[in-house]
Amino acid sequence: MKNRNLLMIPGPIEFDPAVLSAMGAPTTSHLAPNFVEAFGQALERTRQIFQCPDGQPFVLAGTGTLGMDAACANLVEPGDRALVVNTGYFGDRIGVILERYGAQVTHVKAAPGGHPGLDEVETALKAGGYKVMTVTHVDTSTGVLADLAGLAALGQRYGALVVADGVCSVAGEDLRMSEWGVDVAFTASQKAVGVPPGLALLVAGPRALAAFKARKTPAGSYYADWGNWLPVMEAYEARKTAYFGTPAVNLVFALNVSLGQILQEGLQARFARHARISRAVKAGIAALGMGQVPLSDAIAAHTMTAPRFPAGVNGADLLPQVSQAGVTLAGGLHAAIKNEYFRIGHMGAVSLGDALATIGAIETALAACGYAFQPGAGLAAAQKAYLA
């Protein structure tokens, strides 16, 4: 009998056995030749994953919030103006961090499940003087997918550095940093990148690095200061060593394995797989009479789904029943609607089998809660959507 549930939350996710094997290997020195080669490869591959051939990758021991903190600390000085395109919990968070570093922050918000229109964002940008504009590509609290390409074009037009929170998108959603004009993007290892928690991945484009080098004051964070990490990243990519802080050795080995798998699959094929599985999950949810937090399919993420509880069912009853059926899901996160929905992650090494097992567990849980539906309807709809 299997002694663990299938983990289908929006991170951490299920990890490939080869990645876990790298995690479990004996730890070597961070100066050992095999680690230097692995770290150098991982940095090169990070640049490819972010689709930013002229960018500078940083791989740091920490969480996605460290990536967010590093972007803000290195780009913002006291008195700078920042515009946050806010689609949920993590838009709120980056606003708080920007303010911590002395920025004057303006939020352009939408109701939960929506996102601000390009016209609203342009109106705000026209006010002028914004050094930075931040966009949450996929807000994990709502499952809303932003029009990053359109927003980045606006940011470039009005002279703002474009910062993309790609924590729930990189390696699962198409994010073309160089082509779209995104100046900084960051993610965390435990999401679609497919590595256990503990690494923040960030890529800074040429405009962002130039802005950093033109600072009049030191970065507000010592640990996140690009000036401390840049010589380290440059050295390892050149297959040399340099020291500021000890790298997370086993996580970096695992990262290099996972990035190699991603590139072997091919980015476009990977994005297409995520979209196909997402369609299956969302079709299954809809067939069971549940809506979603995103207000339309066009703005719904492909890395996760945020279903609303059906009438007469609540999270305190449903989610433990789903767990008893063998799948772990996440509750709501957005404060305004926290008790109205739950969250399913389907990213990284996720398969159709994982998606179907999840829909099946939800059907079992709904039945246990006394909810009336046609048994198998969700599974049939998911399979039909996947095969279409």
- Rounded to whole angstroms, how far apart are CA atoms 234 and 249? 17
Residue 388, classified by CB atoms within 10 Å of its CB into exposed (0-12), middle (13-18) or buried (19+), is: exposed
Instruction: Select from 229, 264, 299 the last residue of a domain.
Output: 264
Structure tokens at 62: 């920490």
In a domain, residue 6? The reply is no
In a domain, residue 226? The reply is yes
List beta partners, residue 149.
none
| Domain shared by 36 and 185, yes or no | yes
Closest CA to 354 of 342, 345, 343: 345
| Domain shared by 63 and 98, yes or no | yes
Q: What is the CATH number of the domain that holds 346?
A: 3.90.1150.10
In a domain, residue 295? The reply is yes
pLDDT at 254: 98
Hey, what amino acid is at 148? L
Instruction: Select from 235, 264, 293 the last residue of a domain.
Output: 264
Long-range contacts for 309-317 (Cβ within 8 Å, ≥24 apart)? 309/340, 309/341, 309/342, 310/366, 310/371, 312/369, 312/370, 312/371, 313/366, 313/369, 313/371, 314/339, 315/339, 315/342, 317/369
| Domain shared by 288 and 346, yes or no | yes
In a domain, residue 8? The reply is no
Length of the chain (residues): 388
Q: What is the CATH number of the domain that holds 84?
A: 3.40.640.10
pLDDT at 135: 98
pLDDT at 128: 82
- Rounded to whole angstroms, how far apart are CA atoms 134 and 136? 7
pLDDT at 3: 84
Instruction: Select from 210, 233, 264 the last residue of a domain.
Output: 264
Structure tokens at 46: 């990070």
| Domain shared by 358 and 312, yes or no | yes
Q: Which residues form the domain of 24?
A: 17-264
Closest CA to 10 of 167, 202, 176, 199: 167
* Backbone torsions φ then ψ of 45, nearest 5 degrees: -70, -35
Q: Chain centroid to CA 155: how far?
A: 21
pLDDT tens per residue, the chain (388 residues)?
Answer: 468 999 999 999 999 999 999 999 999 999 999 999 999 999 999 999 999 999 999 999 999 999 999 999 999 999 999 999 999 999 999 999 999 999 999 999 999 999 999 999 999 999 989 999 999 999 999 999 999 999 999 999 999 999 999 999 999 999 999 999 999 999 999 999 999 999 999 999 999 999 999 999 999 999 999 999 999 999 999 999 999 999 999 999 999 999 999 999 999 999 999 999 999 999 999 999 999 999 999 999 999 999 999 999 999 999 999 999 999 999 999 999 999 999 999 999 999 999 999 999 999 999 999 999 999 999 999 999 999 9
In a domain, residue 354? The reply is yes
The structural domain count of the chain equals 2
| Domain shared by 153 and 125, yes or no | yes
Between CA 221 and CA 125, with CA 145 as vertex, the angle to 5 degrees is 65
| Domain shared by 171 and 248, yes or no | yes
CA dist list (Å): 198 to 66, 141, 255, 261, 346: 10, 20, 10, 19, 20
pTM value is 0.97
| Domain shared by 259 and 276, yes or no | no
In a domain, residue 10? The reply is no
List beta partners, residue 139.
144
In a domain, residue 11? The reply is no
| Domain shared by 238 and 292, yes or no | no
Hey, what amino acid is at 26? P
| Domain shared by 144 and 157, yes or no | yes
In a domain, residue 162? The reply is yes
- Rounded to whole angstroms, how far apart are CA atoms 70 and 122? 26
| Domain shared by 256 and 376, yes or no | no
CA dist list (Å): 354 to 10, 285, 345, 348, 362: 14, 15, 10, 11, 12
| Domain shared by 31 and 142, yes or no | yes
How many C-beta atoms lie closer than 10 Å to residue 315's C-beta? 18
| Domain shared by 187 and 58, yes or no | yes
pLDDT at 283: 98
Contact 350, 7 (CB under 8 A): no
